[in-house]
Structures are given as C-alpha cells and as structure tokens.
Structure 1
Amino acid sequence: MVVTLQIQHALKQSTNPAHTIDLLNVWAANLRHTDLAQAWKINYQAEYHARNGIFAHTPYYQGLVECWYWRGKFYSVHKKYAEALGCFYKSMEYCDYVDDALLSFENQAACYYQDAPDQFIANRVDKLALHNILGVTLALQLQLDAALEHYLIAEEIAIMTHNEWMQTILNSNIAYLYRVLEQPIEAENYLQRAFQRLPEALETQAQKRLYATMLDNTCWVALQHGQLYDALIYANASLELYQALSWSQGIVEVLNILGVVYQRFDQAERAMVEFEASFELAQRLGFQEDMIFSLIQRGMLVATQPDYTQALALIQAGLALALDTDDLSQQALAHKALADVYEQTNACAEALHHFKHYHQIRENLFNERSDQRLRLLQVTHQVLQAQHQARFYYQKTQELVAEMQERDRQRIELERLATIDSLTGLYNRRHFLGLAQSLLEQAWQAGNALAILLFDIDHFKQINDRHGHHIGDQMLQLVATTAQAALRQSDLIGRYGGEEFVVMLTRVSNAEALLVAERLRSTIEQQVLSDAHQSISTTVSLGLALSYPHAEIPLERLIQQADHALYQAKAAGRNNVQIYTA
C-alpha cells in the first residue's frame, strides 16, 4: 500500500512522458497478485501512452517492451502460458526498435518493484530478461528443450555483459530443467555454480528467495541420488527460509517435498501430515496445482496401507480439479495413479480405461507441444540473427567453459569423497556425526525415541596378523555391506574408526532397537569371506544406548554410553548385544 501511494505521488509529479509510462508499468506489475483487473487497466493505459505520446522517437518502444512483458506475466498468473508466450514474443520484437542510448539512462521507476523475483530487473526489461522469462514459461509447459535453448542464449548475454546476478538466476533455472529431466549430475553442476555466485551475506529479498529456491532444487537432486537424509536437511532449510520470507508458494511446495521425502523413508504417517498441511495452505491461498499434487500423492500413499476406497476418492478429487483447471500434465498423473490403484484391486476394466486416458493425454501433449516448438524455433531463429555477434564471441569461450565445468565436476566429486569412507562406502565419522546431530534434534522436537548402536569386529587384529591386511580390508567391506543390508532404510550408519562402526536407529522402542541389533549380529555371524585358499568368518560385539522421548541426551553422551555397553559386550565373551544401563 505504501509503495502504491509512492507511485501515485510520483505520477502526479512526473513531467517526463517516458518516466510516466515506466511508473505505470511498475505499478501494474505490483498489482498483479492483489488486483489483477486493475493491473490490466493500468497496463493498457501505459500501452496507449507509449504509442500516442510525444517522444524523441515515437512510439516509446521501451515502454511497449515492458507493457507486453508484464502482460505476459498477467496471463501466467492464470496459467495461460500460450497467451503469455505470445506476449513475450511481441515484447522481443519491440526490443529490436529500442534506441540503445536509452539503456544508458537509469529507470528510476524500477526501485518500486515489490515482488522479489521482479527485483532482478535492476534497470529495464531487455532481451536478457525476455529470454529468461521465455525459458521459465516454456519449462512450466514441460517444453524443456526449447526452455533450455532460451536459457543458454540468455546465459551468453549475461556472460558478455558481466551480469553475475542474472548468471546466478540462469544457473538455478537450468538446474531445475535438469532436475525435471532426472539428470541429477548436471543439475548439481549448475546448482554448484549458482551457490558459488551468490554473495556470502544475503541482503535483499531477491537473493534470499533465490537461495531458498536453490535449496528446494538441491533437495530434489538429493532425492534423485537416493540421499534421503541430505534431502531432508535441504528441505527443512528451504522451508525455514521461505517461512522467514513469508512466501506462501514456496512453503506449500516444500511441504509437498517433505511429504515425498518422508514417504521414501517409509514414514507414511509423517508423510501424510506434510501432504495434508500443504493441501490446507494451498487450498486457502488458491494454489490449485499444489492442491492437485497433494491430493494425488495422498491417494497413492493411502493405497499402500491399503485403503483403496479412500485412495480412489483422493485421486479422483485431484483429477476433477485438474480437469477444472485444464491442467493436462496433472490429469495424466491422476489417470496413471488411478490405473495403478484399480490394477491393485483387480478392477481390470477401470484400470484399462484410465491407462487409455493417460496415454491419450500424453500423446496430445506431445503433438500440441510439437506445434508450439516449431513456432518457437522460427522466432528463435530471428532472435539468433540479432545475437550473431554475441554468439561469435561466445563460441570462442566454449573451451574455457568446458574446462570450468570439468573443474566443477571434479570439485563435486572431491566434496562427495570428503563425506564417504573410501574403503567401506559408508559415511565417514565427521559426516555421520553431522547428520546424526540433525536427526537427534528433530527427534527432540518431535518427541521421538532413538538409539545409538556401536559395534566392532571381534579379534580383528588376529585376522590382519594371520591372513594379511588385504583380507582385513575385505572383511571390513563385507561387514559394512552386510550391516547396510540388515538395517532399516531409515537407519543411519557410518564407519566410526578402524574396525568400529556406528548406527543411529530412529523412531524405535527398546524392543525394536534390540531386535535390529540382534538381527545385525546374527546376519554378520552367518557371512563367510572366501578366496582360493580359505573361508573366514567373524563375529561382532554390539553396545546399545537408548534415548527416550523428551530426554534430550546429547549425541556425544549417547555414543559414550554405547561405547560403555560395547565394552561390556566384549567382557561378556563377545558376539553379543549389551544395552547401556546407568
């Protein structure tokens, strides 16, 4: 409200027709989330003045560039992406008529932008901003190859103009594309670049919101890698930042992500809580796409319990909403989910019906997008002609860019190795302790019980002395592999040092923790390490320390207790489990 009054005051004071149009465009941009009808009126008013005002060069082309840019944004609010693309292409055409001398002057109206994503327009809408928004809009339609083409053109311009901030945004956007394409390595590369370019101190709302989005994307990448604990950490960090920014769209999305993470952890109850929280907030705010996703995911989750009646009701509600909003991608997802549930209930006719709908929608989407891609390539060809000079210089930098990408890959690999014990493939001690501390604090907040299990290989020195260190290394690897297979998916395991291993068991009762420990001991006892000359078996001794709900025992103390119990297991003859008692 304050900014609106400031713009209105500036309009009354303005004696420069171009500045007046700039103010109208910014005002309309700010109104699109609160009063879209008024935003449209002001947008048309700005276009009229840009076409009919008296300027040094008539019409005021920069004003028209921004009128059509924001008009495209207005269509995007209602998810009318085809109309939005038409507006952005029109804006791109007007860019060719803009007097370059105008760009050297500061757009004083830009300081009134309220929405964090708009604040990257530090001065004026230009081809860099347009290629970026074309990429964003095409990505929302899942035209990922066309979106990537625009992002790469924008990246060329950003590099040529030394625009670090836009390079950061583009790296984040390209990472999202690779995330959707399920190419986590490439997504991780671009996210690393984006993280490197962000300043250490995040000062503006735009910087903080971009950082939260990057954490969001990193969570999905971790999920694609199967790194569930990392995904949980990134999702919670993203949620915390979104909440601090009061950005509802981000909060809704991350709640859905948390639901997926907990679903992968086989924590159905916790996953349902997150999906329901996301749905409730999305429903209150009118975020229909997130509502549909939540409904479908809840239905798929309920089907595993199994409660097929409720599962079908939830997914059908999601389908109805997808039909109402004409969201073909979500309709396809809903039909696929319904087909799977009906198949599980042996309702073959209904399953076939939904499979047919699923494939028909997928085919229609492809054909429709193929036509749009052809039109896009025609427009892109015209744009590339104007960017020929920039592309010429960009090609000269390809070798350098490839070298930088290779260095990024090497650095990411080194960072991965810094968290993993190279011999066993388990988390190393430092990384395990960091993850365990996070899980412990979450357990405190949720009031859940957990346990620390410390175990080592009995008479390991004798194995090394009698058979050689290479056999000792193989035994460590066998024990590590066996332990991973014997533990639950939600448990965390690491190599604590030498022949000693550490496990955190989450959300377990005393009986459950003891059962897991005994299963681990018994499974290792049955393993045999064989080579050409001999067969070697081993046993382990285990110490168990329990943390009760709301006890809030520090991690270091829990490990000390488990170590004490391990000592007791050794004293009791080895190959047994001892529980710490004070």
Structure 2
Amino acid sequence: MEKEDLVSLQRNVLKLRVEGKYEETIEACFQLLEAGLAANDPKSILTAQINNAASFYCIGAIEEAFYSIDAYLEYCTDNGDEADRLNGCNVLFLLHEFNKDYEKAKETLENAIELGKNLGHFNIVSNAYSNYSMILAKENNFESALSMAKTGLEMAELHEPRTPILEFRVKLNIANALIGLEELKDAEQLVKEMVNDPILASFIREKTQVHDLYGRYLMQKKMYREALQAYDTAKELAESYNDRNLLKGILEKRCKLCDLMDDVQRGYKAQQEYINLLSDLRQHEVSMAAVKIGVKHRISTIERRANTDFLTGLYNRSYMETTTDKWLAEAACSGESIVCIAFDLDNLKSLNDTYGHIFGDEIIKKIGQECARHIRSGDLIGRFGGDEFAIILRNLSLEEAQQKAENLLEAVRSIKIEKDGIYISLTASVGIADNVGGTIGTFTELFHQADVALYQAKENGKNRICIMS
C-alpha cells in the first residue's frame, strides 16, 4: 500500500472519532491496523491502536480498551517516540480513572506531566494537572486538589497559541476544590464568572459541567430551590447531546435535593426520570454487548493475521521469535530442553523455473499443512519466507527431535503433486540444534545453530538431517 493511502486511512480514523462515530472508528482502525502491519508502518499501527483504545472506552468496552492500550504501549516501546508515549499516558489515565484505580491514575498523570514538560506540550501538561486535581477531589483532598488545579492554570497560560477553553477547563477544577474547602465566597465569584462566559456558546459539555458545578455550590449554601434550577439546566444540556454518564450524576443530585426540600411531587418526578435513565443505560449495555462481541472478533482476527504467514497460515517469524525467547528464558532457569528444527525444500527453484511461482506457492502451502499435522499442539511451526520453515519443540532431547525430523522427512517424501500429468516427488533438508542445557538464550542464536546444520545437510547431498552438536 502506498504511503498516501496509509495517510488517508489515518485521517479517516481521526475524522470518525472526532465525529463520535465510535463503532465506525473501530472498523476503520481495524483496516488501518491491517494495512499498517502489512506495510510495517509504525505510525499507522500506533494511530490504529490508540484510537481503538479511545473508541472502546467511549462505548464502554473497557476490557477491549485496555487490550488496545496495552498493545499500543508495547509497540510504542520499540517503535514510538516521546509524543507517542505521551498520547499513551492520556488514554491510560481514562481507563484507570474509569476503574477507580486512583493510584495508577495519578502515576500515569505524573508520567504525562514529566513527558509533556520535556516536549513543551503545555496543553497536555495542563490537562494532566487538571485531571490530577479531579482525582484528589474525589479522594476529598481538596487542598491538594486546589494546588494542582492552580498549577494546571499556569501551564494552560504557557500554551501557545492561547486557548481560552483550556484555561476554562482548569477553572472548573479550581472552583470544585474551592467548594470542597467551603471557601464559598471565592467559589461564588469564579462560578458566576464562568456561567456567563461567552465561550460556552461553542462548548456544550463544559456548559453542562459549569451548571452542574453551580448547583453544587448552591447546595453548599443550602439554596436548594436555586440549586434545583441549576441542575435542571444541566440536565437539559446533558440530554441535548446524550451524555448519559454526566446525566446520571445530575439526576442523582436532583433526587437528593427533592428529599432535602421535602418536595414529594418533584421528588417523584425526579425519581421516575432517574429510573428511566437507568433503564436506558441497561438497554445501552445490551446493545454494547453485541458491539463487544464484534470487537472481540475483530481483535482475534487482527491477532491471528499479525502472527501468521499469509501464504501458509503458519506462525510468522515475529511470533516465533517472541514466543521462543520467552521459552528460552524459562528454560535457562528450569534446564528444560528447547530444540529448533530448520528445514527447507530441495530444488524448489528449479520447480519454480519449470512450472511457475504460483505452482511453487501451492507446494509450500502443502508442505506447511503436512508438517503441521506431525507436531504436538504445544509446539510451534512457522514459515520464514521462501521455502524455509522452523519448528520449536519443548522438553525433547536431540535424539527425540531427530526422530521427529525423520517423521517429517517421510511425510514430505510421501507427498505426490500432479502437474500436467506428471507426479512430482519432494524432498527436504533438515538441521537440528538445541539450547545446550539453557546456555542459548535467544531464538536468533538457536535458529542460527539449526540453520548452520541445515546448510551442512544441503552441502552433504540434500534429503537428509544434520545435527549441530
């Protein structure tokens, strides 16, 4: 795929997510991830994974969101830059905050603050301080919450170009901390200023939040009827853009207010609205269950395609290398024997030259299928390109592995492929090596030893096995 096509897919993912079309974003991320893996393009892979994580979060598929952010962070370690790691922190915070794991949420925000300062991304640093203030307020540590929010405002003022909504969002947390500290005079001045800020004409979610906050301030002042009016406004705003989670909190506060006011009629209506919302949320969860099933199917498909060779369906080198490295690390402690069998077909080039590469590909597929039938379910078999294959066996001696290789050779020799009325016989050459009692620690080294033995088998006349002692 051309670079321009990948960029176009990336833009489509970002566009769909900004528009709030999260299920379509997930599908677009699926396409981008496949294309990125095929082209080995880190930017496409990272863009797909982080937008998947954010989209899963927005539809409530938290398990899938964690899966995507975990894949993002792992891939980012070797292929991303500091800005990519900063993006990872932002999404990871949302997931920890959703799960109410506040310690991990704060740790993630601290990482974001450090990275953001190093990069000079003061907008992200400001958001991190703001979110830190929100977490501290939930823990009723309002004094520290106020300090964090004030620092967040300082960071917002450093951001260029000046962004008023960035500063406004931090002020929400300053006001929230002031109310929690019962510094109501300062809170009143700030909240009333924010309620009348013309910027809210363009930012309905922040407008909802400030009216919600105003209601909280009025409750602290025991001005219950005025507080109810503020919550009614916040409710209408949240309903207008279908923010169920924010709406749930507002309706809960309205119910509490009606009890404090001893207003039975209003209380009954508020309770009914709350019950209807809970029913709506349950229906939403049912519909999300169907989405999650589709998401899991997509994830398993992506995993399978990322780990397998497109021609044979066997594992590819990347998966073989990662898994074998893990096995070898375990074997270094346990003394377990890990054996690598490397083999390739004899004279495939002449078959390709005579009958064409499509015919050669059919032979490779047939060999892969036949050999896969002769290994244990817990072992690995993969194709490394061309006609070279590798098998990794656990807890087998060299002698046992040699017998396994003899069986594979017999299976290859028994294959008869018909072409233009002629039956073609096949042979293969095999090299075997083990981890030498745990002293070989990487797949690359183990495979190299088996590959040297394979070369010896070729040099000695092909159609045979050589063992690296």
Alignment match of 1:286 (pick from 199, 202, 206)? 202
Q: Flag the structure with more relative contact order, 1 or 2, with Cα contacts below 8 A and sequence separation at least 6.
A: 2
How many aligned residue pairs are there?
312
Find the counterpart in structure 2 of residue 66 from structure 1.
10
Find the counterpart in structure 1 of residue 102 from structure 2.
184
> Quick check: 1:62–1:98 contact (8 Å CA) kept in 2?
yes
Q: Aligned partners of 1:159 and 1:381: how far apart in 2?
A: 22
Check 1:272–1:165 CA distance in 2 against 1; reply closer, same or farther (3 A cut). Answer: same
Alignment match of 1:215 (pick from 129, 132, 136)? 129
User: Residue type of the partner of 1:187?
Assistant: A
User: Residue type of the partner of 2:57?
Assistant: A
C-alpha displacement of 1:396? 7.3
Matches within 5 A, 1:59-98: 61-75=5-19, 81=20, 83-97=21-35
> Quick check: 1:146–1:376 contact (8 Å CA) kept in 2?
yes
Alignment match of 1:243 (pick from 133, 157, 173)? 157
> Quick check: 2:29–2:49 contact (8 Å CA) kept in 1?
no
Find the counterpart in structure 2 of residue 380 from structure 1.
299
> Quick check: 1:219–1:235 contact (8 Å CA) kept in 2?
yes
> Quick check: 1:65–1:125 contact (8 Å CA) kept in 2?
no
Find the counterpart in structure 2 of residue 265 from structure 1.
181
Find the counterpart in structure 2 of residue 491 from structure 1.
none
Q: Aligned partners of 1:276 and 1:238: how far apart in 2?
A: 21
Check 1:368–1:267 CA distance in 2 against 1; reply closer, same or farther (3 A cut). Answer: farther
User: Residue type of the partner of 2:155?
Assistant: L
Q: Aligned partners of 1:296 and 1:183: how far apart in 2?
A: 24
Check 1:156–1:347 CA distance in 2 against 1; reply closer, same or farther (3 A cut). Answer: same
Q: Aligned partners of 1:176 and 1:380: how far apart in 2?
A: 21
Alignment match of 1:148 (pick from 51, 54, 66)? 66
Q: Structure 1: which 5+ residue stretches go unaligned?
A: 1-56, 76-80, 104-123, 401-582
> Quick check: 1:312–1:341 contact (8 Å CA) kept in 2?
yes
TM-score by length of 2: 0.59
> Quick check: 1:85–1:134 contact (8 Å CA) kept in 2?
no
Alignment match of 1:320 (pick from 211, 221, 236)? 236
Q: Structure 2: which 5+ residue stretches go unaligned?
A: 308-317, 330-469
Check 1:249–1:385 CA distance in 2 against 1; reply closer, same or farther (3 A cut). Answer: farther
What do you get for the CA RMSD once the two structures are aligned?
3.2
TM-score by length of 1: 0.48
Find the counterpart in structure 2 of residue 295 from structure 1.
211
Check 1:396–1:295 CA distance in 2 against 1; reply closer, same or farther (3 A cut). Answer: farther
CA deviation digits over 1:280-332, x for unaligned, max 9?
A: 33754511111111112212321332222211211111111222222222322
Find the counterpart in structure 2 of residue 169 from structure 1.
87
* 2:196 match: secondary structure: helix
> Quick check: 2:113–2:129 contact (8 Å CA) kept in 1?
no
Taking only the aligned residue pairs, the percentage that are identical comes to 9
Q: Aligned partners of 2:88 and 2:320: how far apart in 1?
A: 17
Find the counterpart in structure 2 of residue 338 from structure 1.
254
User: Residue type of the partner of 2:214?
Assistant: R
> Quick check: 2:126–2:170 contact (8 Å CA) kept in 1?
no
> Quick check: 2:25–2:55 contact (8 Å CA) kept in 1?
no
Alignment match of 1:132 (pick from 37, 50, 54)? 50
Q: Aligned partners of 2:140 and 2:2: how far apart in 1?
A: 58
CA deviation digits over 1:470-524, x for unaligned, max 9?
A: xxxxxxxxxxxxxxxxxxxxxxxxxxxxxxxxxxxxxxxxxxxxxxxxxxxxxxx
Alignment match of 2:145 (pick from 209, 221, 231)? 231
CA deviation digits over 1:131-184, x for unaligned, max 9?
A: 212222333445433322221121121123253432232123212322243221
Matches within 5 A, 1:529-548: none
